């Protein structure tokens, strides 16, 4: 062991000058070690966590901007030619083409530019647009060779010959009829005109998003940029692209669909997403959206993406009860040996300070939320069917088992459940926020199964009977509404989110004839009418976020925080379903009134925006085009003005983000997993 100081013989006097220092004191060693560790940590963090500022991607982006600015930057345009009737020099044209070809070859495969916009005006004027109005199909999309007139070709799938498109799903009549159902024009030309208006609104919303926010989650149409404050944060997950793909496909906008598919194939990833993602929102928008596109097209890209996202959500289910947490960190796992070593180090530190899955702190002592963990069944069950992997169905079936066995106060389901103890949180029940889609998925799981999941139907009927008894009320003016129930006290307030319940009760009445059917239909019609009243009692004729029934007020918002409208679809969902079930003209009239209200108050030159106060003559806009506006609001309005053959309700069931999934045993596009090989 090295001495700290040189020791002098005891017979000699200690000379300070001879006391030569050979090492450091303990405190000095600790200080030096701390400095070295800090330096190492900074270098490690800089290498692994800072953006790559030194790669070639930035140079390529700048180069691509010059390329998009026009070939004239590289080759100046020649002076007007003489003797060629003003045409350009053919030699220079050839040189320019060669240069363009060279640039394309040298770009990496994963370099994707924003899709070009059609700003020529050909979409809204000229004979092509007239043809589109007459046929309901964009003129740029041609008919299938040898197919029925007016049937547009599905998007082509490149280098995947084994995949069947909807039009080729079967050599028999089933496949052909399935694709014909994706046309769905109403025989009434006035109705077709209204449907085409909704299609034009979709094109306006999509083109604006492409121009100002391509790849971002949502658009701020007034600010003309991406919306970084969405539920998915500032990471470029393309929520609007994924949410809007199936709507584009239904409307025959296959060029736009292909643009979105190309982005999904090249750019969509959850790797490196450094935020907690909502299990519920990620499931209904991304897993649901991809599964619907797979059902429509048979394109295995969408199936692979759906499985990829669902696998990222599975860690949230690792709880003592099987009830998943609300939030999950979806950073991807490593691939190489070095990445594995680094990942283990990162996970060690993450587990010290942070949980990979967790609940919202405000949710009744860290409870999971009924409407979130109860809204996974449709997507996960279908994913097991089409992949052959039972793990997804097992996860949601475990949730079902807990909810079936747990004691329910007055037969009702409170909105909060602790995933560790399996006990209810606050005694707050709602068919609106925090509870809504759980009840929706009970009925729809039964429908999706081809009426084989009797457990789900029984749970639905039992829950509806308790809600009818304890939460459904009629106002002095005769309006039927469903109130929130807090600690055994009715609030006499109904959320806009609860307006889907009109269609829910209607479906419950018509899909099974039993002792409850007549009452269900009566309530469904009453709730749909009440939600319509909440719309027409505002200046904008768009409904508030919540409305009350007390102090002489009926179907009106009283608080400032309840007067906004963020392009929500729930009322239009009930219009659509009740129209399909009854063919009562009033539902189409109400829907058209809503289309005009959206045009008058929510449309901007660059997309659609929500409103901060629906009762004002000139309401301020919130500057957000929600992704569900494309996924739900416009889809339900489009279907409202379509023939019943477009997505018939006995063959398709809509998830809570309006992504239709095929009904087992009744829809030729169900696409079960092949038994001979895994997908």
**CA Rg value for the chain:** 30
Which segments of 57-171 does DSSP mark as H helices, in order?
57-69, 90-106, 127-135
Q: What 3-state class would DSSP assign to 555? A: strand
Helix (H) or strand (E) holding 255: helix 254-267
Q: How far apart are the C-alpha atoms of 245 and 259, rounded to whole Å?
A: 9
Do 615 and 543 meet the contact criterion of CB atoms below 8 Å apart? no
Q: How far apart are the C-alpha atoms of 378 and 244, rounded to whole Å?
A: 19
Q: How far apart are the C-alpha atoms of 557 and 615, rounded to whole Å?
A: 9
Do 333 and 343 meet the contact criterion of CB atoms below 8 Å apart? yes
Helix (H) or strand (E) holding 209: helix 189-213
Do 630 and 241 meet the contact criterion of CB atoms below 8 Å apart? no
Q: What 3-state class would DSSP assign to 276? A: strand
Phi and psi torsions of 645, nearest 5° = -70, -15
Q: How far apart are the C-alpha atoms of 153 and 140, rounded to whole Å?
A: 11
Q: How far apart are the C-alpha atoms of 597 and 600, rounded to whole Å?
A: 5
676: how many CB neighbours lie within 10 A of its CB?
A: 5
Q: What 3-state class would DSSP assign to 549? A: strand
> Considering 372, 545, 554, 657, which one is annotated as catalytic?
545
Q: How far apart are the C-alpha atoms of 242 and 217, rounded to whole Å?
A: 9
Is 338 buried (19+), middle (13-18) or exposed (0-12) by CB count in 10 A? exposed
Instruction: Return the closest-CA partner of residue 281 out of 636, 598, 626, 531.
Output: 626
**How distant is the alpha carbon of residue 280 from its chain centre?**
10
Taking the CA of residue 568 as centre, how many other CA atoms within 13 Å lie in the half-sphere pointing to its CB? Answer: 25
Q: Long-range contact list for 518-524, CB < 8 A, 24+ apart?
A: 519/468, 520/464, 523/468, 523/472, 523/480, 524/574, 524/578
> Active site includes 545?
yes
- The structure tokens 């809600």 sit at 467
Residues carrying an active site annotation: 545
């Amino acid at each position: 062991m090295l001495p700290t100081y040189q020791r002098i013989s005891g017979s000699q006097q200690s000379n300070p000058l001879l006391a030569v220092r050979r090492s450091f004191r303990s405190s000095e060693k600790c200080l030096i070690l701390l400095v070295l560790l800090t330096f190492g940590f900074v270098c490690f963090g800089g290498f692994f966590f800072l953006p790559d500022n030194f790669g070639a991607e930035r140079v390529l982006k700048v180069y691509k901007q010059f390329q998009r600015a026009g070939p004239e930057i590289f080759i100046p345009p020649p002076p007007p030619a003489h003797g060629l009737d003003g045409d350009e020099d053919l030699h220079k044209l050839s040189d320019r083409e060669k240069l363009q070809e060279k640039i394309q070859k040298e770009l990496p495969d994963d370099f994707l530019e924003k899709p070009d916009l059609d700003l020529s005006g050909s979409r809204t004027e000229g004979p092509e647009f007239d043809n589109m109005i007459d046929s309901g199909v964009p003129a740029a999309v041609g008919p299938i060779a040898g197919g029925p007139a007016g049937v547009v070709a599905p998007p082509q799938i490149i280098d995947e010959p084994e995949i069947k498109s909807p039009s080729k799903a079967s050599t028999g009549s089933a496949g052909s009829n399935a694709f014909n159902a994706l046309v769905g024009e109403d025989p009434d030309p006035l109705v077709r005109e209204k449907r085409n208006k909704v299609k034009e609104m979709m094109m306006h919303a999509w083109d604006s998003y492409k121009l100002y926010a391509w790849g971002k989650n949502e658009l701020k149409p007034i600010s003309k940029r991406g919306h970084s404050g969405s539920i998915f944060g500032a990471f470029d997950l393309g929520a609007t692209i994924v949410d809007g793909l199936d709507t584009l496909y239904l409307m025959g906008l296959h060029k736009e669909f292909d643009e979105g598919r190309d982005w999904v194939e090249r750019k969509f990833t959850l790797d490196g997403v450094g935020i907690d993602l909502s299990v519920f929102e990620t499931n209904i928008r991304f897993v649901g959206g991809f599964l619907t596109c797979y059902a429509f097209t048979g394109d295995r890209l969408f199936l692979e993406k759906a499985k990829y996202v669902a696998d990222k959500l599975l860690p949230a289910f690792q709880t003592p009860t099987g009830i998943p947490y609300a939030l999950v960190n979806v950073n991807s796992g490593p691939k190489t040996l070095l990445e594995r070593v680094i990942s283990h180090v990162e996970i060690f530190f993450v587990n010290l300070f942070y949980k990979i899955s967790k609940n919202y702190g405000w949710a009744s002592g860290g409870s999971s939320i009924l409407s979130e963990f109860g809204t996974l069944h449709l997507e996960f069950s279908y994913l097991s069917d089409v992949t052959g992997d039972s793990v997804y169905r097992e996860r949601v079936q475990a949730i079902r088992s807990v909810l079936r066995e747990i004691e329910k106060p007055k037969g009702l389901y409170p909105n909060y459940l602790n995933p560790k103890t399996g006990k209810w949180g606050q005694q707050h029940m709602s068919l609106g926020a925090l509870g809504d889609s759980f009840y929706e998925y009970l009925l729809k799981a039964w429908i999706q199964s081809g009426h084989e999941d009797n457990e789900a139907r029984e749970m639905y009927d039992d829950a509806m009977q308790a809600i009818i008894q304890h939460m459904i009320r009629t106002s002095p003016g005769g309006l039927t509404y469903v109130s929130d129930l807090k600690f055994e006290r009715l609030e006499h307030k109904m959320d806009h989110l609860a307006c889907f319940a009109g269609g829910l009760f209607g479906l419950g009445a018509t899909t099974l004839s039993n002792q409850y059917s007549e009452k269900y239909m009566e309530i469904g019609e009453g709730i749909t009418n009440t939600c319509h009243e909440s719309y027409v009692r505002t200046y904008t004729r768009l409904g508030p976020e919540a409305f009350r029934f007390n102090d002489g007020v009926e179907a009106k918002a009283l608080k400032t925080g309840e007067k906004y409208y963020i392009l929500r679809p729930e009322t239009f969902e009930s219009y659509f379903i009740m129209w399909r079930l009854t063919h009562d003209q009033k539902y189409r009239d109400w829907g058209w009134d809503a289309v005009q209200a959206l045009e008058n108050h929510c449309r901007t030159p660059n997309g659609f925006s929500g409103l901060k106060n629906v009762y004002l003559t000139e309401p301020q806009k919130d500057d957000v085009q929600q992704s569900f506006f494309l996924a739900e609001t416009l889809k339900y309005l489009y279907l409202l003005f379509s023939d019943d053959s477009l997505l018939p309700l006995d063959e398709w069931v809509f998830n809570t983000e309006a992504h239709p999934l095929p009904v087992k045993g009744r829809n030729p596009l169900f696409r079960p997993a092949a038994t001979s090989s895994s997908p």
